[in-house]
Amino acid sequence: MSTDCLQELENALGRAAIVRDEDRAQYDVDWRGHLHGRSLAVVCPSRVEDVGETIRIAKRHQVSVVPQGGNTGLAGGATPDSTGGQLVLCTRRLNRIRGIDLLGNFITVDAGCILQNVQDAALSHDRLFPLSLAAQGSCTIGGNLATNAGGNAVLRYGNMRELCVGIEAVDAHGRLIGDLKCLRKNNTGYSLRDLLIGSEGTLGIITGAALRLFPRPFAHATALVKCANIEHALQLLGVLRAHCADFLSGVEWMSNGSLSNVSTQFPDTRMPPGFDESCLCLVELSGSTPPGLLDDILASALDQAIASGFAADAALASSLAERDAFWTLRERLPLAEARCRSLKHDVSLPAGNMGEFVAHLEGYLSSMTERCAWAGFGHLGDGNLHANVLIPDAMPNALCDRIDEFVYGEVLRLGGSISAEHGIGSRKNNLLHQALDVASLQAMQAVKNALDPHNLFNPGKLLFN
Amino acid sequence: MSTDCLQELENALGRAAIVRDEDRAQYDVDWRGHLHGRSLAVVCPSRVEDVGETIRIAKRHQVSVVPQGGNTGLAGGATPDSTGGQLVLCTRRLNRIRGIDLLGNFITVDAGCILQNVQDAALSHDRLFPLSLAAQGSCTIGGNLATNAGGNAVLRYGNMRELCVGIEAVDAHGRLIGDLKCLRKNNTGYSLRDLLIGSEGTLGIITGAALRLFPRPFAHATALVKCANIEHALQLLGVLRAHCADFLSGVEWMSNGSLSNVSTQFPDTRMPPGFDESCLCLVELSGSTPPGLLDDILASALDQAIASGFAADAALASSLAERDAFWTLRERLPLAEARCRSLKHDVSLPAGNMGEFVAHLEGYLSSMTERCAWAGFGHLGDGNLHANVLIPDAMPNALCDRIDEFVYGEVLRLGGSISAEHGIGSRKNNLLHQALDVASLQAMQAVKNALDPHNLFNPGKLLFN
């Protein structure tokens, strides 16, 4: 049965489009190496029509399909199960920039385009595509849409949902749905676009997208700010919002735990004098303004934050090299963490409850006999914490589960979200039942059944079936 | 049967919550007086629980429900059919501001809150709720969400979809779905919020919303700019984007036809000298900047637009009174139109095709023997044209239909949208079949059937059933 399916796929798409045997190993495991699946084969269509053909063939053979872009996901959404019966549909050969509308400020791309290539295409026309995240050199636009990716510039430009005006996708019958109209306002029926965004490949296969572009800001002001704790950092954010709102493009928070891990893992890391052993905020303004203006505005706001006691000290980047050094510090946080054993928790919280959450978690960790270290960081301006915990190599899984339970329990108790920007995938779908009420879950399940009646698309991800 | 239904509703919600007989006349007709329906009765719940109870009772009696907020819609979405068998569910008594989160910058409101009251509540805390449109003194947040309303500030702040982070709604079983979490990032399952936004009451009854707030900008720069035609206006927009992007909050376009109608209907209208008989753009920058800066930035950009030949002249508002006068001109466009017989067309177009669209429509109108006048205006920064046409009182409906057909045919041919910000309602659902492909329509219908299996919610609106 499955051999017939592969033969049909090979006949339809060509031999080169099907990856079998050992060659598919890289597709069968997530990039952190935590989740190991086993696919029937990997299909790599190079044309949108071939995605439709793949789905029609898969449907006929009752073989389910796991879409995969850059395979950089953190929630297991792109890894096949271990049955050997699922097809991985790799979109990486769908990688054309279809067009740029410079008058309207839109770019239309294939879903398999790598994020950085889209950023570069925009820059080559003096435009900004603002989505920016650690995996941008390998993650794809389709995956960014499927998880509603966030990253470093959401505060100013919004997450992937807000950057996308049109989606083209293949439905459960192998037909195209949606549209790629380059329009800022388009209200014609239910927003299939917004239904597909964040659906993690469970409702259809995204093949193309129309995305917004922005003027490229040519001025920046960047500072590293020392804050006593996350509550002070939130007050700092309030001062920045009041004084720099037109330009505020990033407020990244780094706990002292996350920073000392960077110093341990990257001994060449240099901090401004006196900035060790503290929480820091990386603050950035950007705009199309006369030289010096942003530095003046930021310096004045930081003076006020220091005078109010919300910031202990601040270092304004005085050169491009210094700005790069500040951002390198931020970028090294996940890289340093990847060299350790850690528990990742991508959560968001109401601003007013963040301090309580961090204090409770630190208290809980210090009460454990194992040496677990709080190493949180995150996009403070969006209320998004990566509430990560470094754990000993030998810690038993049951203890890991207890920390996870504590974190998600606190997040829900404090009105937060168990999934901010990484998705639900196969790692969090058991939590979805705690996070949502029965009626909302049933509504989601009804939508899933309506659009994917044969459960063809990424079963077992996001929802349970 | 329907008498039983009303009796049950009266028992459950109290006599005062049910409007019958002649008193319901204002609810049975749209505000323009074009669509006349006949409801069974009007239900006015004052508590969210009563909305659930209304739906449960309506479901038991197989009576469908037409939600209505301020009854200011332009597409007929809130008017009952003429059978006398539908309940109008008026949300206006659900009008509490539930809370404001000043640290996180969110406001949580009942769906029946009037837009202006929400704007005022934000202002009283020195915050901006940016949605701004002509009907703001009477339209409700629920209606704004149901139609994904746009208005004058979309260019900078986005439409209602982008301003909303959470929705609470009553489903087809009378249960609450969704959530009102005040979080910028929350990806837990499919976005029921985005499915409900723009669904015009056909998937559930929105009862509450969590909305984003912004710092209140205290500086403005406003100008009236004379452009030869819409293509020059679009080039002006490009110059403004390149030079004032951080502050650009409105670029409103007014055709000479729309402006001469204002002069006719409001003889006290004053224009800056030499600004008659031309297309105009109203341009506004806003921000939290030192005094004078925005004026300087705008003046410099306008100088460049004039030097490049995209603008013929520009008048910068030198006082608050002058700023108000410029905006009064803009606000009088729909008021002047309401005093005439007109055909409204709320459409959007790719920027590159707007000039062709306007030229073709003007050509078509001038070829008619009836004296029809092009009186378009719109939110140029969003590609949104109100491509309205003034028509003689005696013009036969068949001719009106021909103009509509021409307009929508051109819009679709040029890659535009037949509905930008007013919705589909009962006036455009026949057009939806031209605008969308069969697979997308079937996907929407499947979602409708899944979430509203008994066709309880606003049947005959948006989709056909």
> Chain B residues with CB inside 8 Å of A203's CB?
190
Question: Does position B464 have pLDDT exceeding 90, yes or no?
Answer: no
**Per-residue model confidence as pLDDT tens digits over A66-117:** 999 999 999 999 999 999 999 999 999 999 999 999 999 999 999 999 999 9
Q: Tell me whether residues A198 and B182 touch, CB distance under 8 A.
A: no
CATH of the domain spanning A219-338, picked from 3.40.630.30, 3.30.43.10, 3.40.30.10, 3.30.70.2190: 3.30.70.2190
The arrangement of secondary structure in B97-215, i.e. its CATH architecture, is 2-Layer Sandwich (3.30)
Instruction: Check CB contact under 8 Å for A105 and B447.
Output: no
Contacts A187 to B, Cβ<8 Å = 147-148, 198, 417, 419-424
Mean per-residue pLDDT for A282-296? 93
Output B277 or B427, whichever has higher pLDDT: B427
Cα B351 from Cα B416, distance rounded (Å): 10
The answer for B 117-176 residues in CB contact with A (under 8 A) is 147-148, 150, 154, 158-159, 161-162, 171, 173, 175-176
Interface touch B190/A444, C-beta < 8 Å: yes
Architecture of domain B2-90: 2-Layer Sandwich (3.30)
Measure A215 CA to nearest chain B CA, in Å: 6
Residue B76: its H or E element: none
CA dist., res. B18 & res. B35, Å (int)? 22
Q: What is the least distance, in Å, from the CA of B229 to any CA of chain A? A: 16
Are B311 and B225 a contacting pair, CB within 8 Å?
yes
A134: buried, middle or exposed (CB in 10 Å: 19+, 13-18, 0-12)? middle
- Residues from chain A that touch B451, judged by Cβ atoms under 8 A, are 443, 446-447
CATH of range B219-337; options 3.20.20.210, 3.40.50.300, 3.30.70.2190, 3.30.70.20: 3.30.70.2190
**Residue from B441, B436, B418, B438 nearest B428 by CA:** B418
B161 contact residues in A (CB cutoff 8 A):
191, 194
CB proximity B420 to A under 8 Å: yes
The residues in B 314-343 lying below 8 A from A, measured between CB atoms, are: none
CB < 8 Å to A351, chain B: 101, 103-104
**Closest-CA residue of chain A to B180:** A415
Please tell me if the domain spanning B97-215 has the same topology as the one spanning B219-337.
no
pLDDT band at A327 (very low <50, low <70, confident <90, very high): very high
Residues within 8 A of B (CB atoms), A 59-98 only: none
Q: Measure Cα distances from A230 to A39, A285, A357, B175, B346 in Å.
A: 44, 20, 10, 38, 47
Task: State how far residue B23 is from chain A, nearest Cα, in angstroms.
Answer: 33
Chain A contact set for B203 (CB, 8 A): 190
Q: How many residues are given for chain B?
A: 465
CB < 8 Å to A190, chain B: 195, 198-199, 203, 444, 447-448, 462
Q: What is the pLDDT of residues B321-378, one digit of tens each?
A: 999 999 999 999 999 999 999 999 999 999 999 999 999 999 999 999 999 999 999 9
Nearest-by-Cβ selection for B348 from A162, A185, A384: A185
pLDDT at A297 exceeding the cut of 70? yes
B99–A contact, CB cutoff 8 A: no
Share of chain A above pLDDT 90, in %: 93
A39 close to B (CB below 8 A): no
Among A156, A184, A411, A431, pick the best mutation site for testing chain B contact (most B Cβ within 10 A).
A184
Q: What is the pLDDT of residues B36-91, one digit of tens each?
A: 999 999 999 999 999 999 999 999 999 999 999 999 999 999 999 999 999 999 99
Bigger pLDDT: A22 vs B15: B15
Residue with the bigger pLDDT between A245 and A190: it is A190
What is d(CA A174, CA B245) in angstroms, rounded to the nearest whole number?
41
CB neighbours of B351 closer than 8 A, spacing ≥ 6?
Answer: A101, A103, A104, B234, B237, B383
Q: Which residue of B has its CA nearest to A431?
A: B188
Looking at the predicted structure, is the pLDDT value of residue A276 above 90?
A: no
Interface predicted TM-score of the whole assembly (ipTM), two decimals:
0.96
Contact A195 B190 (CB under 8 A): yes
B191 touches A: beta carbon within 8 Å:
yes
Asked if B101 and A242 come within 8 Å (Cβ–Cβ), the reply is no
Q: What pLDDT is stored for residue B93 in this prediction?
A: 98
Determine the average pLDDT of the residues in A163-189.
97
Instruction: Look at A185 and B421 and tell me if their CB atoms are within 8 Å.
Output: yes
- Each residue's pLDDT tens digit, B245-270: 999 999 999 999 999 999 999 999 98
Instruction: Inform me whether the C-beta atom of residue A300 falls under 8 Å from chain B C-beta atoms.
Output: no
Using the Cβ of B446 and the Cβ atoms of chain A, whether some distance falls under 8 Å is answered with yes
Burial of A325 from C-beta contacts in 10 A (0-12 / 13-18 / 19+): middle
Q: How many angstroms separate the CA of residue A153 from the nearest CA in chain B?
A: 12
pLDDT score of B456 more than 70: yes
Q: Is B178 on the interface with A (CB under 8 A)?
A: yes
Q: Could you give the residue ranges of the DSSP H alpha helices within B221-281?
A: 230-244, 256-265
Q: Which of B434, B190, B443 is nearest to A173 (CA)?
A: B443
Q: For residues A317 and A284, what is the distance between their CA atoms, to the nearest angstrom?
A: 10
Q: Say if A192 is an interface residue toward chain B (CB within 8 Å).
A: yes
Residues B383 and B354: their CA atoms lie apart, in Å, by 8
CA distances from B155 to A171, A185, A214, B241, B341 (A): 32, 10, 12, 10, 30
Asked if B104 and A179 come within 8 Å (Cβ–Cβ), the reply is no
pLDDT above 70 for A1? no
CATH class (in words) of the domain with range B342-422: alpha beta
A435 CB near a chain B CB, below 8 Å? yes
How far apart CA A179 and CA B441 sit, in angstroms, is 12
Tell me the average pLDDT across A117-125: 98
DSSP string, A349-417: --GGGHHHHHHHHHHHHHTSSS--EE--EEEGGGTEEE--EE--TT--HHHHHHHHHHHHHHHHHTT-B
Residue B1: pLDDT above 70?
A: no
Is residue B113 over pLDDT 70? Answer: yes
Q: Which residue of B has its CA nearest to A178?
A: B440
**Mean confidence (pLDDT) of chain B:** 96
Q: For chain B, what are the domain ranges? A: 2-90, 97-215, 219-337, 342-422
Q: What is the rounded CA–CA span in Å between residue A147 and residue A155?
A: 18
What integer pLDDT is reported at residue B465 of this predicted model?
A: 65
